[in-house]
Chains A and B, each alone.
Chain A
Amino acid sequence: MTLLARFRPLSPLLAVALLMAAPGLGLINAYWSRTVMLIAILSLLVSGLNVVLGYAGELAMGQVALYAVGAYVAGYLGVQFGATNVLLALGAATLAAVLVGLVTGIPGLRLGGWSLAMVTFFLVILVPNTIDILHDFTGGTLGLAAAVPTLFGMEITGTRLYVFILAVTAVWFAIARNLLRSRHGDVFLVLRQSPILASTLGVSVYRLKLLAYVIGAIPAALAGALFSMIDGFIAPETFTFALALSVLAASVVGGATSVYGAIAGAAVLQIGQQTFTQFQDWQLVIYGTFLLVAGVLFNRGLAGLAHDALAAARRRGLLPARPVSAALAVPVEPEAELDRLDGAVLRTEGLSKSFGGNAALREVSIEAKPGEVTALIGPNGSGKTTLLNLICGFYKPSGGSLLLDDDEIAGRAPYRIARLGVTRTFQTPLIPKDMTTLAFVATGRYTSHRVGIAAAVLRLPAFRRGYAADTAESLRLLRWLGIEDLADQQVDSLALGTRRLVEAARALASGPRVFLFDEVGSGLDESDLVVLERVIGAIRRAGGTVILVEHNFPLVLKLADRIHVLSQGQLIASGTPAEIQSDRRVLAEYTGATDEQAETATTKGAQ
């Protein structure tokens, strides 16, 4: 089946094997085998950048600096300690990369935007300076002659080195592929597009970006170590700003949001550079043009173009269509109940929030119980969304407390609150691009049913089980909502009503304790509303705690067990739907009617 097929990358393996055997079979000469090695090394640099740029959405220009770190660490170990074992060199380079990644990533990622780009750019500029300062270790401007690399006493040179470099590159790409084609990769994509959605999934934006950055640093250092073995000599002139730009250009040309695009981009740049040596003077202009044109025209690079071409071929029937994921789980009746949910009591006590002296919420105390729907209503600007954002941790309260099962959660980071089982939907659904509906729903389980990075990279049984469970549960939810047929569609192609359903599925997938629905009914037509009513009713019956912020009064009356009415940031009434319906003050406040008009409205409504 397709899912299993994805775990078996046969054709890449064949390609690598063929390439490895090529010099021995006399298929390629020395010039081309060197070219292949250089492409492999460049593609490592590019692949690391792709993890950071394409998935975490941060620009890191420091691959060249890490490249230098890897080269010098490997070189120094060999020269100084005679530690020429290539595996040792790679290990030490990885360690150094992680270290540099942490030191520069922790401050660089605090602010977002351009600061990581600048910190890493600074690293590149510092390279010659640092090599000079550390000339006792690096040989300064004269360069460093590296020792001959060995593996278990065997000298790694010539064809052996060629095979070794390809093997290391293949292993890295297997790691990158396994990492990026897993929930981790999906969550990286969410992170790049919507940090708010990422924190709702229970992800610490800062830590995950740091993780991506550090992971991206590793192949760069590996590449450096490998490079030091090719020529046996490390010269400071290698680690130039122009190289940093060529890495960036290769990433953009190949497509930053792809795994193998890095190889294509690296090949284009490396071969281009060797072939058009007479254009050396114009090299920078060419790189710059690549960046400018690629950035403006096709922001998904060669990989994106290939992807589009494949899709077009499938549409025209030139290629067999991709089969829809087959049903894995037992069929679920549309009317079936949800599994039991472990609802929690959410309570606010005198919760207040002001923005620069303007009170948006004043002393609001409400309680939402498991197995009940608690509705918040009130005119626009009455503070409903502010209350919701306080509960989720997007705002810090100015006063009062916020309790989840008697634990104070006020002021905690959004991702921590999400991890405690508080999930939400958004007034305008937050839907990422480049992701199928199924994968999007499954991201809801990222922190609640976590599969470690190591398990994903090594495709351990835990990963396979987790992946299968994610898929089965997501499909089950989609089927339950009656939209199973959309599982393989791009989630950002869905209509508004379906987006709301998909968001509800995403929220349900984590098996949360408290649900916050923000204006879930707005912009929906009748049939969508019916499904949503059923969803909310089912969550309530399953024992979940539901907080509903809603304008649609009939919907609220139908669904809510308790209604709280906000006005001017204050709670003006609380009660059952019947009580609220007969509360004149509420109607007056809510519709702006005078008491008399409100009365006519209610009596007319009751007729």
Chain B
Amino acid sequence: MTTVWAGLATGAIYSLVAIGYNVVLLASGTFNFAHAQLLMIGTFLAYTGAVTLGLPVVPAVLLAAAGVGALALLEERTAIRPLLGRSDAHGALITTVGAATILDGLAAALWGRQPLTVPSGLPDRPLELLGGTVRPVDLVLIGLTLLVGVGLHLWSRHSLIGLASLASAEDRDAASARGINVRLLGVGAFVLAGLIAGAFGLLVGARTYAVFNLGHALALFGFVAIAIGGAGSQLGGLIGGFATGLIYAFAARYVGEAYPQLVVFAVFLLILFLRPRGLFGTALERRV
């Protein structure tokens, strides 16, 4: 059970990345490769807030959320906006990788290459729960991720803006013709994804440390979560993230310490091969 808790806690982080990908994907049709890097910056800002500035938990979380939200806005302006209306589809492929690399580099240059410990403000003593041990911070991380994931899922179906975002994912032109400002919606999605990533910086950092290349692994496992859950499905991404985390934890426990990445990679290849639309996605017929 301890393995399950560990898997769920790691999985929560992957779910967070998948959620961030999906928020942007749904509203603007862009895959933001740099989202995992936003989460990484979130952990550093949480460190700066909580340790360097010595702020209490709530202001530290707000600082990280605001900072990452602003960065996401900046990223949209520089890496996405100039490409809108361009026919070459893989422009964003390059520019968001560029943005991710800049964020990696900035983190390394500003905070150094050594991992930093981010204090969560929660007691460190592990709890006994359902036959396993789990740190309080992990429990909170799992709970809040579930809350945000399910909340976003419900919100996207039961609010006007959520509906508008689903509609513009289905057909941008038709959404514009209903008076939906699709561009603003896209910007809003970037900022929202940034705010969420920043707000979780403290909890994620408390589990993983703040380290400049954290984004790489997170980007990958977040993408595996999307592959499992199906692109554009908030609920799918949430479940996919937890599933990836569990696979990772069980592979580490039962196959060997060095193997979890390889096992996840094998699962990833298998899913792409067998269910390319994800376990929750549906196949779409191509239209000319």
Query: Do A and B interact directly, with beta carbons closer than 8 Å?
Result: yes
**A residues lining the B interface (CB < 8 Å):** 53, 57, 59, 61, 103-104, 106-108, 110-111, 113-115, 117-119, 121-122, 125-126, 129-130, 132-133, 196, 241, 245, 248, 252, 281-296, 299, 355, 385, 389, 394-396, 426
Contacts of A289 in B (CB 8 A): 98, 102
Tell me if B101 and A281 are in contact (CB < 8 A): no
Contacts of B109 in A (CB 8 A): 281-282, 285
Contacts of B82 in A (CB 8 A): 296
Contacts of B273 in A (CB 8 A): 106-107, 110
**Is B285 engaged at the interface, CB distance under 8 Å to the other chain?**
yes
Tell me if B265 and A394 are in contact (CB < 8 A): no
Chain A residue at minimal CB-CB distance from B278: A111
**What's the Cα separation between A57 and B91 when bound, in Å?**
10
Query: Would you mind naming 8 contact pairs between A and B with Cβ atoms under 8 Å apart?
Result: A59-B93, A132-B258, A245-B101, A252-B94, A281-B108, A287-B101, A292-B98, A296-B82
**What's the Cα separation between A196 and B262 when bound, in Å?**
35
Give the secondary structure class of A's interface.
Answer: helix
**What's the Cα separation between A395 and B88 when bound, in Å?**
26
**B residues lining the A interface (CB < 8 Å):** 31, 33, 78-79, 82-83, 88-91, 93-95, 97-106, 108-109, 213, 216-217, 219-220, 223-224, 227, 258-259, 261-262, 265, 268-270, 272-273, 276-277, 285-288
Tell me if B259 and A291 are in contact (CB < 8 A): no
Contacts of B102 in A (CB 8 A): 284-285, 288-289, 292
Tell me if B285 and A288 are in contact (CB < 8 A): no
Contacts of B219 in A (CB 8 A): 121
With A107-B273, A284-B101, A288-B99 as known contacts, state yes or no: A129 contacts B258, CB within 8 Å: yes
**What's the Cα separation between A66 and B103 when bound, in Å?**
26
Chain B residue at minimal CB-CB distance from A59: B93
**What's the Cα separation between A133 and B265 when bound, in Å?**
15
Q: A57-B89, A126-B262, A281-B109 are in contact. List 7 more A-B contacts (CB 8 A).
A: A108-B272, A125-B220, A281-B108, A284-B108, A285-B101, A295-B95, A395-B285
Contacts of A292 in B (CB 8 A): 78-79, 95, 98-99, 102
Tell me if A286 and B258 are in contact (CB < 8 A): no
Tell me if B269 and A104 are in contact (CB < 8 A): yes
Tell me if B227 and A115 are in contact (CB < 8 A): yes
**What's the Cα separation between A130 and B268 when bound, in Å?**
17
Contacts of B259 in A (CB 8 A): 133
Tell me if B94 and A110 are in contact (CB < 8 A): no
Tell me if A114 and B93 are in contact (CB < 8 A): yes
Lowest 8 CB-CB distances: which A-B pairs, in order? A284-B105, A291-B98, A288-B101, A288-B102, A285-B105, A292-B98, A295-B94, A295-B95
Contacts of A296 in B (CB 8 A): 78-79, 82-83, 91, 95
Q: How far is the CB of B162 from the nearest CB of chain A, in Å?
A: 23
Q: How far is the CB of A593 from the nearest CB of chain B, in Å?
A: 31
Tell me if A111 and B79 are in contact (CB < 8 A): no
**What's the Cα separation between A149 and B90 when bound, in Å?**
41
With A104-B269, A129-B261, A132-B258 as known contacts, state yes or no: A291 contacts B276, CB within 8 Å: no
Chain B residue at minimal CB-CB distance from A132: B258
Tell me if B95 and A115 are in contact (CB < 8 A): no
Most chain B Cβ neighbours within 10 Å, of A61, A126, A133, A291: A291
With A117-B93, A283-B105 as known contacts, state yes or no: A110 contacts B272, CB within 8 Å: yes
- Please pick, from A59, A106, A288, the residue contacting B104 in the complex, using a CB distance under 8 A: A288
